[in-house]
Structure 1
Amino acid sequence: MKFWQIYKEATKQQKIRWIKKWGLIASGSLVLSFIGLLLLAKLMGPPALLVPQTTIMYAADGSKMGEINNGGQNRYWLPLKKIDKDVIKATISIEDKSFYKHNGFDFKRIAGALLADIKAGSKVQGASTITQQYARNLFLTHEKTWRRKFQEAFYTLRLEMSYSKDEILEGYLNTIYYGHGSYGIQSASRYYFGKNAEELTLAESSMLAGIPKGPSYYSPILHEENAKKRQEIILTSMAEDGSIKKGKIKNAVSEKLTYVQEEDEEVAAVAPYFQDAVMRTLKKELNINTNSVQFGGLRIYTTLDPHMQEVAEHTIENRIIDNSNIQTALVAMDPRSGDVKALVGGRNFKESSFNRALQARRAPGSTFKPFLYYTALEHGYTASTPIKSEPTTFAMADGVTNYKPKNFKNRYANDFITMAQALALSDNIYAVKTNLYLGPDKLVKTAKKFGIKSELAGIPSLALGSKAVGVLELTNAYGVFANGGKKADPVFITKITDSKGEVLYQHEYESEQVIDENKAFVMTDLLAGTFDEKLNDYTSVTGSSINHYLTRPMAGKSGSTPNDSWMVGYAPQLVTGVWVGYDNNEELHDVNDTGYSKRIWAYFMEGALKNKQILSFEQPEGVTAVTINPQNGKLATESCPVTRISYYEKGTEPVEFCDEHGVSKEIKEKLEKKEEKKGFFKRIFSW
């Protein structure tokens, strides 16, 4: 018996030693595991805060023009200093009173919650800290498994070790769900009360702080009674904390709150085709992927001028009066910078998102002629160069094909006209003769210099705009004339920042001198002739139907084909192109169809520049002004019934006086003196 007792005692001691031994091993392992976990969390560094956020587009004046979000989830990021203090106090009071004291886990609260759950026999009380909730919102699902709880604890450690308490609180308030598609306090504040999160009252702050516990159950819109009870609990908690005085509870609870349910504007509600152009720029030119745009909370600053855009849309709506399927596109740019100020790609974005300003390619007709006549200036032509306008059949180089262009309504001068008249009257015979004389390949090269990227061909009809181009590229090409020969590429985006204001992209403005400055100014004068009825001849100048609308110096050219109607032109600070036609290439029906583009252009230009400084085109030093007879391009005399000031590169201006209406004695004497100064051979040559 004594032996048995000794054996039992020895066995007991052995068990105690075994328990102690393995207890120490287990404890050590736990401590080492915990230390290892801390080291791992430290080594891994801060977790990437991949929080989906709403991307916002801004117009040039800083106004918001559109948003891009994730499936109706509105998310904005506000720095903590821009969030109302009562929201912060209310959130901490109800969600995590010891937030600034613990290191991510409130063990006292955990113990209390466990005890409460045991007593109730079910889970009745939560113990998650703000950091834990933030970790869950950022990285985890809401499934209730031990694996998810371990991951949550690990992310909580990483957050606490890598970010300050204020940074964690800021992140939490910007990511928590407040119901009705609103993530973050700014979105919630705008949705429920129509104001920014820094403008909330105590009553509004305490109401919003109660929603995350049950976004549907505590929604003041769906269940106001539940929300009011929760609000009172929060206010009482704040008073107990000393965050507010007890006397404020009653006032805040009794304050009548108005819920505006502010729905954010749909994406593309403002300037939808312009926004489409911005999206294309982001993806194709700046290589910003779709996920970054949709979820990255970017701030995209654009070149859009809201006033000009409104004028463009209003003009199109009020100038196209029929209900047919006729379509239009308009692009307006600052030729000095390339900034696109307004863009319309169709009559109704909801019915058709096809962006005709960017995607359509249509024959430009006579709007292509300025590039031909610039080429002519490079090869010795001037505004006074005469060519005969008459029905003409051109035999092609193959010896078989004939080309017989026609003027509008088969009207011809059947006489010589000047290049200034040819452009103003849009004479096709003069254009084709000039193209063939110079060689069509030269026109192709010139167009490329202006930035025309569409495929062209060196054929006679290219002078009449037979090859399709885009509205944006043609408008930008005219901007070269307006900008003194300098080409600036189209700009839609000036700057992109992340949600915290860090600059991700900044546009650097630059321009390139692609054509001669003097010749560019001469071309502007020629294009201004479109509106000058002093150049009328066998028909009226093509701008005669709209020149009475224009109140400032402008230059431009209209163009038409059976299927397309164009008008492109500019003032010194704005160049605009307008196209009108049918998507299916249906022929234009009547005078209204063909006249829309001119009227839209004129009304838009005047409306867009209203109250803007009236600027004149700046004359370079290498250009001289001469008074001529517009009917023959010769120097005008006192006898000429009509005179016009025309511009020439110095050394190319006409020297011959007009003698069609008689020569005054004074002019005759000048001519005789000039003849006397000439040598014999020069006189013979002149003769």
Structure 2
Amino acid sequence: MKITLGLVFVGCLLFLSGVALFWSYAKDAPKLEDAKLESPNSSKFFAANGDLFQEVGAEKRETIEATEIPRLLEDAIISVEDRRFYEHVGVDPIRIVGSVISNVSTGGMQGGSTLTQQLIKLSFFSTDASDQTLERKAQEAWMAVQLEKEKSKQEILTYYINKVYMSNGLYGMQTASKAFYGLSLEELNLPQTALIAGLPNAPSYFDPYANPENAKSRRDIVLFSMRENGKITDAEYEEAIATPIDEGLKPLSTTNDSWKYYDNYLTEVINEVEEKTGKDVFTDGLEIYTNLDIDAQKHLYEVTNSDTYVQYPDDEMQVAATLIDAKTGKVTAQIGGRNIEEGTRLGDNLAVNTKRDVGSTVKPITVYAPAFEYLDVSTGKTIVDEPYKYVGTNTPVQNWDNKYWGTMTLRTALIESRNVPAVKLFNEVGADKIEDFLSRLGIQYAKIQQANAISSNTVDQDGTKYGMSSLKLAAAYAALSNGGTYNEPQYVNKIVFADGSEEVEAFKTPGIKAMEETTAYMVTDILKGVIESGTGYNATIQGLYQAGKTGTSNYTEEELEALNAASTVFPDSTFVGYTVNYSLAVWTGYRDQKTPITNEYSGVASDVYREVMQHVSASVVNEDWVMPKGLTRIGRELYLEGQYVAPPVAPPVESKPAESSSESSESSSSSTTSSSESTTPSSSSSETTPPAVSTQPPAVEPTPTPSTEEVPPTVPETPVSPETPATP
């Protein structure tokens, strides 16, 4: 008896404690407001200058009145979401107990929320799973009970039908019905109604356009629930589940003309918000402050989607480009495709998702920067361009012109994009060090290989293909621009939540030291020459201080044979360049890699770069990079402090009287030559003796024929002096 009384007493204490805890949570619940029950929880996107440029969830919404709810839709919603909707008072104890038992026995996550609670959550709280705390659950339950006292069941059901998110930027079931089928809710048949009723559970996952198999599975669950609830017959059920999920679906269209400018950028913003905060922009009513430069974004769109600035070979050629603030890593503009189908929402972003080969644009960051970083060599170090095989193989390293230019400086080797020197340097630095270096630039290969010295394209044994996106490329080159500091690219800088609180810390990306400042400057100094007189001359912008690198990929001999094409076609062409202010990477090619770029259009990537970089640079100060401490310039070559040792002064040579004017001239010429040779700077023991200026190709230079690698496109006649003031 005493034990029984004790248990009762303990039970009463637990009950009272539970009531007290519940009330402590519930008393702080938000007040019920009709405006929040009716309005969409739209998320607003703001540009870097604070301007609102897009809103998700604020599109025109088709609503219905309580008297207009079709009976078939009502039966579907209640059967699958809340079978005792008309019996409970806002919360359903039976449903709660049942979900607990089910979750314990199956390990599942079945919810116990009623339709009323779901409406409260959609209207007043975040829908993110991490926010479903005991406190929030208590507040939802309390508010649901209060709502049931103020509103009728039909009003609550109507709010729910008009409120829920339905995928593809659509809110409300009537809106989705007209967008999906071109019909009002009352005109839908049974399987169509079931699909609409089931979508709010997980709109994107059950989207019939993007995930038809998932959509059919969810639709059939709704139909099963309706049969179990006695709302449809067995025959109706069997006929409905046999109906194809796409029957009656119409292509989606949008009336938001401005969306096309921002689609790819918004895709990454939404992904970043979800990744760093777990929030859903479609349901949580956020204010998202992005790093977007609206003017740059629109100009980039116009350059890539018209022939006003750049001449494209056809409408199918694709462009992927990323513009990054070189000092901060903020992504200010991005385009992930060209001539995208009208009405596309959150489409494929080639600027981030592509795994295509960016060719020799990897050389500065995969070979030359690591060489300067780890080997302490100068830009004047000489290296021999000669027949060479990948170490441990019989595979020869081929240059773009199938020729060898002999001894040259590292500066010349990079400006002329010679492959043999690049692979030699790769082996001299070592794969492990290069892999570590690249990781600090946000680039990771499953296994770095010798071929990565001249190309980003790798296929692992499991078939995984590694390329490099314009996003990663622009971010890596930005580190060269800002003195060796790498900033993780970021699209968002702040979020304001529905309750007024802010999230800033999650979007702070402190830079990391990726390389010495001297390393970044040496590479930059060379890459300035690529644009001034090398393969990147097509990117010249008069007076602008800039550096950059070209890159093209190659077809194999077998692929060329299959294409019945000459060696002057290739699958990818890339250009990446930067100033003190911006880093911009542009990839061009076709979605079908077997569709080749001809030599005539090899300069499209640098054309796009030139037009965009010139535009964005017109509104910022045109600055040159300042040579950091620790470097010395001899001629045009750069040496680390203490690395260059001046040769001893030659003793005076007694001159003989000139026998004739011609002999005097000859002697003078000979003396001048001797003097020039004797002042050639010597180097540290790790290098051969560098000349005062870079070694040029052999006296009889090869005449390169158009090829698949690093052929300079047709360009203006003379480069512009960097001292010339910038011309917008």
TM category, shorter? 0.5 to 0.7
Say if 2:475 and 2:489, in contact at 8 Å, map to a contact too. yes
Deviation at 1:358, TM superposition (A): 1.0
Q: Counterpart of 1:313?
A: 301
Q: Counterpart of 1:199?
A: none
- CA distance in structure 2 between the partners assigned to 1:542 and 1:283 by the alignment: 41
User: SS state of the match for residue 274, structure 2?
Assistant: helix
Is 1:373 the counterpart of 2:368 in the alignment?
A: yes
Is 1:330 the counterpart of 2:293 in the alignment?
A: no
Structure 1 residues 182 and 448: alpha-carbon distance in aligned structure 2, compared to 1, 3 A threshold: closer
- CA distance in structure 2 between the partners assigned to 1:651 and 1:376 by the alignment: 18
Within 5 Å, which residues of 2 pair with 1:93-172? Answer: 155=146
Structure 1 residues 152 and 498: alpha-carbon distance in aligned structure 2, compared to 1, 3 A threshold: closer
User: SS state of the match for residue 382, structure 1?
Assistant: coil
Q: Counterpart of 1:67?
A: 55
Q: Counterpart of 2:91?
A: none
Match of 1:294 among 282, 291, 299: 282
- CA distance in structure 2 between the partners assigned to 1:153 and 1:560 by the alignment: 62
Is 1:557 the counterpart of 2:549 in the alignment?
A: yes
Match of 1:459 among 450, 462, 468: 450
Match of 1:345 among 325, 331, 336: 336
Deviation at 1:267, TM superposition (A): 7.9
Is 1:545 the counterpart of 2:538 in the alignment?
A: yes
- Aligned amino acid, residue 613 of structure 2: M
Q: Which runs of 5+ in 1 are unaligned?
A: 1-36, 76-133, 142-150, 161-171, 184-262, 534-540, 628-644, 676-684
Q: Counterpart of 2:490?
A: 491
Deviation at 1:156, TM superposition (A): 6.3
Structure 1 residues 568 and 395: alpha-carbon distance in aligned structure 2, compared to 1, 3 A threshold: closer
Structure 1 residues 277 and 550: alpha-carbon distance in aligned structure 2, compared to 1, 3 A threshold: farther
User: SS state of the match for residue 296, structure 1?
Assistant: coil
Within 5 Å, which residues of 2 pair with 1:417-496? Answer: 417-467=408-458, 468-496=467-495
Deviation at 1:320, TM superposition (A): 4.6
Within 5 Å, which residues of 2 pair with 1:505-516? Answer: 505-506=504-505, 507-516=507-516
Is 1:577 the counterpart of 2:565 in the alignment?
A: no
Q: Deviations over 1:487-539 (max 9, x none)?
A: 11111001100246431345335211121111111111111121233xxxxxx
Structure 1 residues 610 and 140: alpha-carbon distance in aligned structure 2, compared to 1, 3 A threshold: closer
Q: Counterpart of 2:221?
A: none
- Aligned amino acid, residue 568 of structure 1: V
User: SS state of the match for residue 520, structure 1?
Assistant: helix
Measured on the aligned residues, the alpha-carbon RMSD in Å equals 4.2
Say if 2:378 and 2:638, in contact at 8 Å, map to a contact too. no
Is 1:586 the counterpart of 2:580 in the alignment?
A: no
Q: Counterpart of 2:383?
A: 387
Deviation at 1:485, TM superposition (A): 0.9
Say if 1:298 and 1:498, in contact at 8 Å, map to a contact too. yes
- CA distance in structure 2 between the partners assigned to 1:140 and 1:499 by the alignment: 12
Structure 1 residues 294 and 457: alpha-carbon distance in aligned structure 2, compared to 1, 3 A threshold: same
Deviation at 1:72, TM superposition (A): 4.5
- CA distance in structure 2 between the partners assigned to 1:268 and 1:600 by the alignment: 22
- CA distance in structure 1 between the partners assigned to 2:368 and 2:49 by the alignment: 39
Deviation at 1:460, TM superposition (A): 4.1
User: SS state of the match for residue 394, structure 1?
Assistant: coil
Match of 1:615 among 617, 623, 640: 623
TM-score, normalised to structure 2's length? Answer: 0.54
Match of 1:275 among 266, 271, 283: 266
User: SS state of the match for residue 568, structure 1?
Assistant: strand
User: SS state of the match for residue 271, structure 1?
Assistant: helix
Say if 1:66 and 1:265, in contact at 8 Å, map to a contact too. no
- CA distance in structure 2 between the partners assigned to 1:558 and 1:154 by the alignment: 66
Q: Counterpart of 2:356?
A: 362
Say if 2:48 and 2:291, in contact at 8 Å, map to a contact too. yes
Deviation at 1:312, TM superposition (A): 1.2
Q: Counterpart of 1:597?
A: 605
Q: Counterpart of 2:41?
A: 53
- CA distance in structure 2 between the partners assigned to 1:591 and 1:654 by the alignment: 45
Q: Deviations over 1:662-683 (max 9, x none)?
A: 68779949969x99xxxxxxxx
Say if 2:362 and 2:455, in contact at 8 Å, map to a contact too. yes
Deviation at 1:41, TM superposition (A): 8.9
Q: Deviations over 1:308-328 (max 9, x none)?
A: 112211222332523242211
Deviation at 1:355, TM superposition (A): 0.5
> Larger radius of gyration, structure 1 or 2?
1
User: SS state of the match for residue 472, structure 1?
Assistant: helix
TM-score, normalised to structure 1's length? Answer: 0.57
User: SS state of the match for residue 609, structure 2?
Assistant: helix
User: SS state of the match for residue 432, structure 1?
Assistant: helix
Q: Counterpart of 2:202?
A: none
Q: Which runs of 5+ in 2 are unaligned?
A: 1-18, 64-115, 124-141, 152-158, 164-169, 173-253, 459-466, 555-570, 651-667, 683-688, 691-728
Percent of residue pairs bearing the same amino acid type: 23
User: SS state of the match for residue 531, structure 1?
Assistant: helix
- CA distance in structure 2 between the partners assigned to 1:354 and 1:153 by the alignment: 40
Q: Deviations over 1:161-210 (max 9, x none)?
A: xxxxxxxxxxx9xx99xxxx999xxxxxxxxxxxxxxxxxxxxxxxxxxx
